[in-house]
Amino acid sequence: MPTLTLIQAVNDGLHTSMKEDPSVHVFGEDVAKKGGVFLATENLETEFGTERCFNTPLSEDGIIGTAIGMAMNGLRPVAEIQFQDFIFPAFDQIVSEAAKLRYRSGGQYTAPMVIRTPYGGGIRGGLYHSQSGEAYFCHTPGLKVVIPSTPYDAKGLLIASIADPDPVLFLEPKALYRSVKGEVPEGHYTVDLSTTRDVREGGDVTVFCYGAMVPVCTKAAESAAEGGIETHVVDLRTLLPLDEEAVLDAVKRTGRVVVVHEAPRFCGFGAEISAMIAEHAIEYMEAPVIRVTGFDTPFPNTLEHHYMPDHRRVLDAIEHVYNF
């Protein structure tokens, strides 16, 4: 079984889906000959031709509008937005058109399409190349929002997303593109959407995280174990729709919860987890939920290492809820 980086696994997933299904088309800014900014689409144009892997103008609303039209007419488009920060010109196309097609047509039409985009910090990209906007889209019924954290999940979740009958926003943590490696099966396999992944078992504290925060939380859990605190680390993987049953089961196991994401704190995804716990599992709680997040400021450049949660901030939160 080959060992791949996360970005290689994304490329492998695209290649596998395009090879199996001629309706799959990949397009976006500089994705063809160049292979994209991060080389996620490298060699796809060479193998599948310019009709199935092609460059587009620098127009995000045009990219997504084109994908919607293709999806409604029997194709499986995979549109790349070069950085998640650039997705906002296409916001209306995504939330008002793609996400609403099934509902507004009474189930006659849908938009089986994937929007791939790198998100988050970790590469010193500054305020226009480092944002984490997942919460904007998790507020939109009709979309699925998926975030892998391992090469295995990146390929399996991507293949599942391409085959899904509804639009999927596939957010790729660029901080992990080449910093994590793992075994990835050759050929076709899928990881079910709307499922969580137990990263580490533990009975004292539960930590919910996703994307680039998964290795951060794992390191914090290992440090906590040295002090006698066993931490259950859960990778949420699919934020929308969320596996609420799995989340609540994990909460009930420990009664102490930390939620970690690099997006700003206010109205971030951690607030939804906190509210869910308050509504459905408050009687199991031994301490208040603690959120470890980015700050409510634009994403900084030189202070990126202060903005993004690190294992020390997560460890402090784990120790706080444990000793409450």
129 is catalytic: yes
Q: What beta strand segments (E) does 51-143 contain?
A: 53-55, 76-80, 114-119
What pTM did the predictor assign?
A: 0.97
Q: Where are the domains of the chain?
A: 3-183, 197-322
Instruction: Report the DSSP beta bridge partners of residue 131.
Output: none
Beta bridge partner(s), residue 118:
172
pLDDT for 95 equals 98
| pLDDT confidence of residue 289 | 98
Q: What is the pLDDT, as a whole number, of residue 206?
A: 98
Mean pLDDT in runs of 10 for the chain (324 residues)?
A: 97 98 98 96 97 97 97 97 97 97 94 98 91 97 98 98 98 97 97 97 98 98 98 98 98 98 97 98 98 96 92 98 97
Q: Domain 3-183 is classified in which CATH homologous superfamily? A: Thiamin diphosphate (ThDP)-binding fold, Pyr/PP domains (3.40.50.970)
Residue 187: how many CB atoms within 10 A of its CB? 9
The pLDDT value given to residue 319: 98
User: CB neighbours (10 Å) of residue 178?
Assistant: 13
- Output the pLDDT for position 221: 98
53-55 vs 24-28, strand pairing mode: parallel
Per CATH, the number for 197-322 is 3.40.50.920
Q: What's residue 189's pLDDT?
A: 98
- CA pair distance 26, 63, nearest whole angstrom: 11
What's the pLDDT score for residue 42? 97
Q: Among residues 129, 232, 261, 311, which one is catalytic?
A: 129
Decide the pairing of beta strands 257-264 and 205-209: parallel
Residues found in the chain: 324
Q: What is the pLDDT of residue 302?
A: 87
| Token output for 243 | 């596996």
In contact, 203 and 253? CB cutoff 8 Å? yes
Q: Hey, what are 43's tokens?
A: 């060699």
What pLDDT score was predicted for residue 243?
Answer: 98
Instruction: Give me the pLDDT at residue 107, please.
Output: 92
The helix (H) or strand (E) run that includes residue 278 is helix 269-280
- pLDDT score, position 250: 98
17 in Cβ contact with 4 (< 8 Å): no
Q: Quote helix, strand, coil % in the chain, to nearest 5.
A: 40, 20, 40
Same topology, domains 3-183 and 197-322? Answer is yes
